[in-house]
Structure 1
């Protein structure tokens, strides 16, 4: 759904807002994401934050591996599993068990090592990912 259509939907359901105010909210969302959100994705976030249900269309992540920067967390990527390394368990502070699993994910722009901790590592192992697919 184009950004302008999302803005029209917001304005129809929230008549107390102006188009300028909605555009400001969209730009604030983009700034919070350090420019990693498209205008359309930010508009969907604003709509959701205002309690307006989406149009049921899927928002595709447009982040590619080449666009990753240090410090990002909770990032969504689409790619091909190149390799899954065996998980490793360890002790935290001599008390609690932890688990870490690494994998290499690739797309047309490059590859990245992904690190999964504890329950997420268990989930990846249970998924029985098949490298190359």
Structure 2
């Protein structure tokens, strides 16, 4: 999952830091013992690499996505989908201003997803019948977000939609809408499959520098700049707040997985406000790493597929520290 094997990580540390392989492996073994064998060798090597200041992860670029590949929490994504259902245009009034929103389900041969349109131009196409059930939509510059544990696509003022584009066809749509689960079953990371809603027990072995987006203080959805302020499609002009997105690697000894925490979970993990986390600089980030690397947690959330990295990821919905007594009993 990390992209580098245990041997690769050790070699990278030795090469970049001019230290002996024996020294590195000794530190890794010490870390495994420190964490009561609740971590794999690769996970321990990842922590040691961080301590040496050696980077072992690489960034990836954007692409066009099939529905079941759409990444979560991304500010600009592209997709092609057939309209399966339109729920109708809803008119609302916020701060004395009238607005409209419409929800649709679109899909392709790989799955379905909710598409939420806030842009007046796009909504007018639904009202005049230009967009209807069966229409194929080529979506550009939409943003994805998690709502009630599920991925959604949102169309804002910067989004573009081409209706029934030439040469684009979609076969039978695969309906992947499933009911939410009320409880999470404990699983090992090695058992995970896309779509599972589960509980994991493990250790944070890698922390990436937090990113952030400007969010509505009422619904926590992304807002757009307007004049000297910000506008939420659902709540009008608002005093926007910075909302952090924190990515980490989580290891339970059977395997490891990238986990994603948003504002509430990030605040709980670091014991800091969303604004403080989002405003963290390089020096602050090093302090954050010291706070959480090696921390043992119980997390609940949903398993999603990251098509860019061709791997599973875990969207965290709840988080708590593992009780040492319970940890000993279970292991």
> TM-score normalised to the size of structure 2?
0.21
Larger radius of gyration: 2
> TM-score normalised to the size of structure 1?
0.49
Q: Which structure has more helix as a fraction of its residues? A: 1
